[in-house]
Amino acid sequence: MARLNVNPTRMELTRLKKSLVTARRGHKLLKDKRDELMKQFLEIVKENRDLRRNVEEALSRAHKSFTIASAVMSPEMLEEALMYPKQSVSLALSKRNIMSVNVPVYDFKTKNDDPAEIFPYGFATTSGELDEAVQALSDILQDMLKLAQLEKAAQMMAQEIEKTRRRVNALEYVMIPQYEETIKYIRMKLDENERGNLSRLMKVKDMMLEEQRQANLRHDEAAAASYKG
């Protein structure tokens, strides 16, 4: 692992130690976030799968009823019956925060609470299969919105999981090893400098002791010569 290009000083060593502590803390928090996102994501996927199955079955039944109605009614009568709807729907969008991901929440309201308002035609000239198809579509509308909400939430959470995974890997396999390698290098350099300084001090001490010994020796020789004289 390549180390960072920094000066091997004690100040840099202190800074990198702090950065390493922060990186390790961030790595743990991001791992916890990733694990919780995965847990929430799997729950949404399971709910989405079950709901999709129900919606597809309901849509299949509605399509079957509409196909039968198309067979027993003329195209003109069918088009006229569905041309002017009586009921209208308003859709409201809000947000829900899941581990810092703002997923959408859909809510709809009908203009009229009367269940009969979903039929924009009279019952005298239409088939019962058309009634069943319109009723099935009305019943499944809430589930279809819920399915769209879940699928969008799953998509957004999958993107956030991938982003978090990349950050975790960058910290785990790049930044933290770089910090550790650089700290190790600086410590080695500082120890090497300290040993060099200690060696120089020992040499200076030896030189000073030798000079002192030579001075004492000269002093002793001078004293002996003076005594003989």
Comparing C-alpha atoms, which of 114, 135, 124 is closest to residue 66?
Answer: 135
Cβ proximity of 67 and 74 under 8 Å: no
The mean pLDDT value for 137-146 works out to 88
The long-range contacts involving 190-194, CB below 8 angstroms and separated by at least 24 positions, are 190/8, 190/10, 190/13
Give the integer Cα–Cα distance in Å for 208 and 202.
10
- The tens digit of pLDDT for each residue in 17-67 reads 999 999 999 999 999 999 999 999 999 999 999 999 999 999 998 888 888
Mean pLDDT highest for which of 76-90, 139-153, 188-202?
139-153
Quick one: pLDDT at residue 1? 61
Bridge partner list, 91: 108
Domain 28-161 fold? Helix Hairpins (1.10.287)
Total length of the chain: 229
Quick one: pLDDT at residue 146? 92
pTM of the model: 0.72
Domain ranges of the chain: 28-161
**Terminal-residue alpha carbon distance, the chain:** 77
Quick one: pLDDT at residue 216? 76
Percent of the chain's residues with pLDDT above 70: 93
The amino acid occupying position 49 is R
Quick one: pLDDT at residue 205? 80
**How remote is the C-alpha of 60 from its chain's centroid?**
37
List all residues 6 or more positions away from 133 whose beta carbon is below 8 Å from its beta carbon.
62, 63, 65, 66, 69
Token pair 């769209």 is found at 148
pLDDT band at 86; cut points 50, 70, 90: confident
